[in-house]
A = this chain, B = another copy of it.
Amino acid sequence: MSKGITPKSEDHSKWYTDVITKAELADYGPVKGTMVIKPYGFAIWELVKDEFDRQFKATGHSNAYFPLFIPKSFLAKEADHVEGFAKECAIVTHSRLMTDDDNTIQVDPSSKLEEEIIVRPTSETVIWHMYKKWINSYRDLPILINQWANVVRWEMRTRLFLRTSEFLWQEGHTAHSNKEEAVEETLKILDIYKNVSHKHLAMPVLTGRKTNAEKFAGAVDTYCIEAMMGDKRALQAGTSHYLGQNFAKAFDVKFQTENNNEEYVFASSWGVSTRLIGAIIMVHGDDNGLRLPPAIAPTQVVIVPFFKNDEELAKIKDYIDPHINQLSSMGIRILFDDRAKMSPGFKFNEWELKGAPVRLEIGFKEIENNEVTVFRRDTKQKNSISADTIINHVPTLLEDIQNTMFNQANDFMKANIFTIDSYDEFKRIINEGGFVRCGWDGSDASEQKIKEETKATIRCIPFDENTNNLTCIFTGKPAKHEVIFAKAY
């Protein structure tokens, strides 16, 4: 166990913060609720971001950038939307500072703005204001735009990566000439979210639709990917919304159809955020720290040499350099940790903490035997391989780690989704930890009551729901939906 990390089983929340701090992923900013993403954490985010960006572009989306500042009046134009965000807005009211008589810095009262400005909590309103200018005819559609941006939702109870006043995300905003195309877009994106989660984050997700109570403020339907964390709680990892004509109506965005009629534009919006870093930590981390799936590990392979002086280091370097160069040229992110003042043991701990998937250990024993010692972070297995096979072995090993990590997480999730039929069992499982798959009568009242009594929420109505002979876990009435309940972050 790495020094200074609280065991996961002892206190999951403290373990989480310890991993973030010790692995130097993030730190707390000076304004309450804000976060600093440190270089190692940001390097992970860049790899996650690049993969999403690649897939968005491959499906015809372009990036753009819309302003941080939104007039207060815009937020009010969509009733549900303002209701959803009013209580967590950063509001800009002045534009100048001044030095007062005591020589302290004060807000200059004469710089008060005519209309207050909201720092975007999400960009639907400012984007649909622009779309009104840009859309006239069916020929202007579809618009498939994404932006990578910071957004602000006021938070007092900070949890790094999961709940902070400011976070980084992507938000896609698309405009279409008909409902079918907008819904198709919404689900296409959900598929990208699921695919990147599975293939790159090695994180299994459930997909489905949100209930009315849980959907996005302003959406017709919200679809989501939900993941199970190591403490068996749920985390909403991404959402894709079919917005219908809600924002088009709020911002009066009509288009001329091919038949010369006028109609309101159909819309989708969708986002994933730096919260995914929190998910990666909690899905894969263990008592030694982070475990990173190779696809998003800034350092996929670290080499730790055993040496006493520069001469020995030089010999090891000669031995391994050709392999490093070849693996690098194959696109593998490999690092030779030649720091002189740290012991191999210190480096082992540090790289396990930072979750590097593969460690190669090389000393004179290895050189004599024409070998390298290979440690894999996922299973903590260690073995020796012939130096002649490194080039073939390492890529295969990385692929195997990627798959193994997905399978570990998937087995864990499957083992902790329970199909039950009594509310007592429901309460026991929610209390002990796990997802419950059961019937729900579809009423806001039951959903609300269950939440009050157990803190469990409906994470999604899964696409493969089956309501045959199913009854509501709470009321016993015929189930309208089969749903997934869990306590969530």
Interface string of A79-91 (1 = CB under 8 A from B): 0001000111111
Whole-angstrom distance between the Cβ of A91 and the nearest chain B Cβ? 4
A42 touches B65 (CB 8 A): yes
Residue in A63, A67, A133 whose Cβ sees the most chain B Cβ within 10 Å: A67
Interface residues of A in 20-65 (CB under 8 A from B): 27, 29-31, 34-39, 41-43, 45-46, 62-65
Whole-angstrom distance between the Cβ of A197 and the nearest chain B Cβ? 22
Decide if A461 is an interface residue (CB 8 Å cutoff): no
A95 touches B105 (CB 8 A): no
A67 touches B29 (CB 8 A): yes
Stretch touching chain B among A68-76, A223-231, A363-371: A68-76
A75 touches B63 (CB 8 A): no
Measured between beta carbons, the chain B residues less than 8 angstroms from A35 are: 67
A63 touches B91 (CB 8 A): no
Q: Take A63-B42, A63-B43, A152-B68 as given contacts and tell me if A88 and B92 are in contact as well, using a CB distance cutoff of 8 Å.
A: no
Decide if A165 is an interface residue (CB 8 Å cutoff): yes
A111 nearest CB neighbor, chain B only: B91
B96 touches A154 (CB 8 A): yes
B39 touches A150 (CB 8 A): no
Whole-angstrom distance between the Cβ of A281 and the nearest chain B Cβ? 17
Residue in A34, A76, A92, A150 whose Cβ sees the most chain B Cβ within 10 Å: A92
B91 touches A94 (CB 8 A): yes
Decide if A183 is an interface residue (CB 8 Å cutoff): no
In the bound complex, how far is the Cα of B96 from the Cα of A388, in angstroms? 64
Among candidates B70, B90, B97, B104, residue contacting A95 with C-beta atoms closer than 8 Å: B90
Measured between beta carbons, the chain B residues less than 8 angstroms from A74 are: 30
Q: Take A73-B105, A90-B69 as given contacts and tell me if A39 and B62 are in contact as well, using a CB distance cutoff of 8 Å.
A: yes
Interface residues of A in 102-147 (CB under 8 A from B): 104-105, 107, 111, 116-119, 126, 129-130, 133-134, 145
A150 touches B68 (CB 8 A): yes
Decide if A350 is an interface residue (CB 8 Å cutoff): no
A43 touches B62 (CB 8 A): yes
Measured between beta carbons, the chain B residues less than 8 angstroms from A263 are: none
In the bound complex, how far is the Cα of B27 from the Cα of A129, in angstroms? 12
A37 touches B62 (CB 8 A): no
A96 touches B105 (CB 8 A): no
Measured between beta carbons, the chain B residues less than 8 angstroms from A71 are: 30-31
Decide if A166 is an interface residue (CB 8 Å cutoff): yes
A298 nearest CB neighbor, chain B only: B62
Interface string of A160-189 (1 = CB under 8 A from B): 000001101000000000000000000000
Label chain A's interface by main secondary structure: mixed
B70 touches A130 (CB 8 A): no
B67 touches A42 (CB 8 A): no
A97 touches B105 (CB 8 A): no
B95 touches A92 (CB 8 A): no
In the bound complex, how far is the Cα of B26 from the Cα of A130, in angstroms? 11
Whole-angstrom distance between the Cβ of A61 and the nearest chain B Cβ? 9
In the bound complex, how far is the Cα of B91 from the Cα of A344, in angstroms? 50
Decide if A66 is an interface residue (CB 8 Å cutoff): yes
Among candidates B37, B87, B117, B129, residue contacting A65 with C-beta atoms closer than 8 Å: B37
Measured between beta carbons, the chain B residues less than 8 angstroms from A2 are: none
Measured between beta carbons, the chain B residues less than 8 angstroms from A30 are: 67, 70-71, 74, 126, 129
In the bound complex, how far is the Cα of B29 from the Cα of A216, in angstroms? 25
A74 nearest CB neighbor, chain B only: B30
A64 touches B92 (CB 8 A): no
A114 nearest CB neighbor, chain B only: B32
B96 touches A107 (CB 8 A): no
Whole-angstrom distance between the Cβ of A260 and the nearest chain B Cβ? 16
In the bound complex, how far is the Cα of B97 from the Cα of A117, in angstroms? 11
Q: Take A30-B129, A96-B89, A97-B86 as given contacts and tell me if A72 and B105 are in contact as well, using a CB distance cutoff of 8 Å.
A: yes
Q: Take A63-B39, A64-B38 as given contacts and tell me if A97 and B69 are in contact as well, using a CB distance cutoff of 8 Å.
A: no
A166 nearest CB neighbor, chain B only: B68
Decide if A93 is an interface residue (CB 8 Å cutoff): yes
Whole-angstrom distance between the Cβ of A171 and the nearest chain B Cβ? 14
In the bound complex, how far is the Cα of B76 from the Cα of A42, in angstroms? 29
Among candidates B31, B34, B67, residue contacting A36 with C-beta atoms closer than 8 Å: B67
A36 touches B66 (CB 8 A): yes
Whole-angstrom distance between the Cβ of A119 and the nearest chain B Cβ? 7
Smallest CB-CB A-B distances: 4 pairs: A39-B62, A34-B67, A29-B67, A86-B97
9 contacts between A and B (CB under 8 A): A31-B67, A34-B68, A46-B63, A69-B152, A75-B97, A82-B97, A93-B107, A94-B116, A107-B116
